[in-house]
Structure formats: structure tokens, C-alpha cells
Amino acid sequence: MIRLNPVSGAGPLTQAMATAASGMSTQALRMRVAAENIANATSTASVAGGDPYRRKLLTFGRMVDRSTGAELVRMDSIRGDQRDFRTRFDPAHPAADETGYVKLPNVDPLIEQADLRGAGRSYEASISVMQQARALYGKTLDILRA
């Protein structure tokens, strides 16, 4: 027997689908931020001595959807990574400071690629949950029709 959430009337399949959808949404955002970090891994400042691109970090939290009773993942914030910038001696570079050093982004492409891969796998896992819940929902409807 399918038990309904007493507050909302939503069943476990609806809750599973809502949770999977929130996971897909947050992992897609995580992939976009990692891709942006990779794209800007070599960006320098547009003015001499200025700061280059600062790596973006995501923080996640959870919440309960009142309409379904499902626990959802959500993005809390996007903030800049406060680690120090790398520097390179290149006095001819337009962004070099008065001592000849250029600040480079605090982005490590290998870390970003690993994060991108992890987000992709999490997204695929959420798709799998969504497909399973959808299949179970279809089977339930078939049983109820018979």
C-alpha cells in the first residue's frame, strides 16, 4: 500500500521525483560554475596590478518541500574562493604590477575537472532515480486500472 504524506497527500514516488529533480537542478548549476571556472583559469586583470578572475564556490543546503514533503537540495550561495592568487613574473604583460608580477586566477583546472565529473555522475544518478520512480508510477497505474 502506498502511504501518503499526511500534510500534503503526496506519495513516496512524488517525493522521490521531487528530490531527484532538485538534485538534477543543483548538479546542473554545479557543472555550469565549474565550466565557468575552467573557462577563466587563465584570465588576468584588465588593468595593471588588478585582481584576476576569482574562482567561484557553491554551497548547498537542504529544505523540505511543503507541497510534497520531500527533502530537497538547494543552492545556498555562490561566493568567491578567498585563497591567494598565483603570481608569475612577466613585466611585459599589460596586467603586471609595478614589480613586474602578474596575478593569475586561483583556479586549478584539475580540481575543476574532477568537480565537473562528480557533478555529472550525481546528475546521472538523479536521472536514474527519476526514471525508476516514473516506471514505478506507471506500474502502479497499471495495477489500479486492472
Quick: pLDDT tens for 29-62. 999 999 999 999 999 998 998 999 999 999 999 9
Task: Measure Cα distances from 69 to 6, 28, 40, 129 in Å.
Answer: 9, 23, 40, 17
Residue 19 lies in a domain: yes
- What is the β-pairing status of strands 101-104 and 86-89? antiparallel
Residue 18 lies in a domain: yes
Amino acid at 50: G
Cell of 81: 574562493
Residue 79 lies in a domain: yes
Residue 5 lies in a domain: no
Domains contained in the chain, number: 1
Residue 3 lies in a domain: no
Residue 146 has pLDDT above 90, yes or no: no
With CA atoms as reference, report the closest residue to 116 among 41, 34, 38.
34
pTM for the model:
0.82
Residue 90 lies in a domain: yes
Residue 4 lies in a domain: no
Confidence of residue 1 (pLDDT cuts 50, 70, 90): very low
Residue 24 β-bridge partners = none
Its domain, for residue 46, covers 12-145
Distance CA 126, CA 24 (A): 6
| pLDDT tens digits along 85-144 | 999 999 999 999 999 999 999 999 999 999 999 999 999 999 999 999 889 988 988 898
